[in-house]
Amino acid sequence: MHRLFLAIRPPEPVRDLLLDLMGGTEGMRWQDEEQLHCTLRFVGEVDGDVAEDLASALSAIRFEAFGIRVQGVGRFEQRRGGALWAGLAPREPLAALAAKIDRTCVAAGLEPERRAYHPHVTLARWKCGAAPVQPFLERHANLASEPWQVARFTLYESHLGRSGAHHEAVADYGCGGLP
């Protein structure tokens, strides 16, 4: 089985900006540099045939290159923990690309994504109830990066281990649809 997702990886200066924010909040499991990405679609576990069909189908996606930037921070909370994130803007071109990818996934036999798309880069996670994240959110509320061009997205395989997830790039897809 292959655990797959599709994402955009920010350029090194943006990853450095995000890494510089990390720390100083108790109970956080901060992401490492390898894990900084904006998920476009989580696929989940699929067998080899579905993975190959999907990888091939993704090459048909066409989109115009667009500019985005980091803008602000926020949190997702759940009963068993949550996540700190850096937002990405503008939302519209990312959401349009995520929708194209989702349609391609559905055509390849996967279930459609049911959650609303919220473009972000996860910075940290926590477990068990609330975490003291309000000072972090206030301190970095005006976070912004220089804009960068998105002209490709990547199919990743995620390998889970004791020290967390390791992400391996499987294929890159350019805005013209060519790997």
Structural domains of the chain, ranges and CATH numbers in brackets: 2-174 (3.90.1140.10)
165/73 Cα distance (integer angstroms): 23
Which residues pair with residue 137 across a beta bridge?
Answer: none
| Contact by Cβ (8 Å): 20, 167 | no
Is 120 labeled as catalytic in the residue annotation? yes
Residue partners of 53: CB distance under 8 A and separation at least 6? 108, 109
Query: Active site residue: 2, 37, 140, 159, which one?
Result: 37
Residues 105-135: pLDDT tens digits?
Answer: 999 999 999 999 999 999 999 887 666 888 9
From 134, 143, 166, 161, select the one nearest 34 (Cα to Cα): 166
- Give the pLDDT confidence score for residue 34 in this predicted structure: 92
E-state strands within 17-58: 29-30, 38-46
Total-model pTM: 0.92
Long-range contacts of residues 128-133, Cβ cutoff 8 Å, at least 24 apart = 128/80, 128/81, 129/81, 130/77, 130/82, 131/25, 131/26, 131/27, 131/28, 131/81, 131/82, 132/25, 132/26, 132/27, 133/25, 133/75, 133/82, 133/84
Give the SS3 label for residue 99: helix
| The 152-161 sheet, strands edge to edge | 38-46, 2-8, 152-161, 164-174
Model confidence at 177, pLDDT cuts 50, 70, 90, reads low
Which residues pair with residue 70 across a beta bridge?
Answer: 88
Report the Cα–Cα distance between both ends of the chain, in Å, rounded.
Answer: 23
45/155 Cα distance (integer angstroms): 13
Residue partners of 127: CB distance under 8 A and separation at least 6? 27, 29, 80, 81
Query: Active site residue: 120, 159, 166, 167, which one?
Result: 120
From 85, 83, 119, select the one nearest 99 (Cα to Cα): 119
* Average pLDDT of span 140-168: 90
Model confidence at 37, pLDDT cuts 50, 70, 90, reads very high
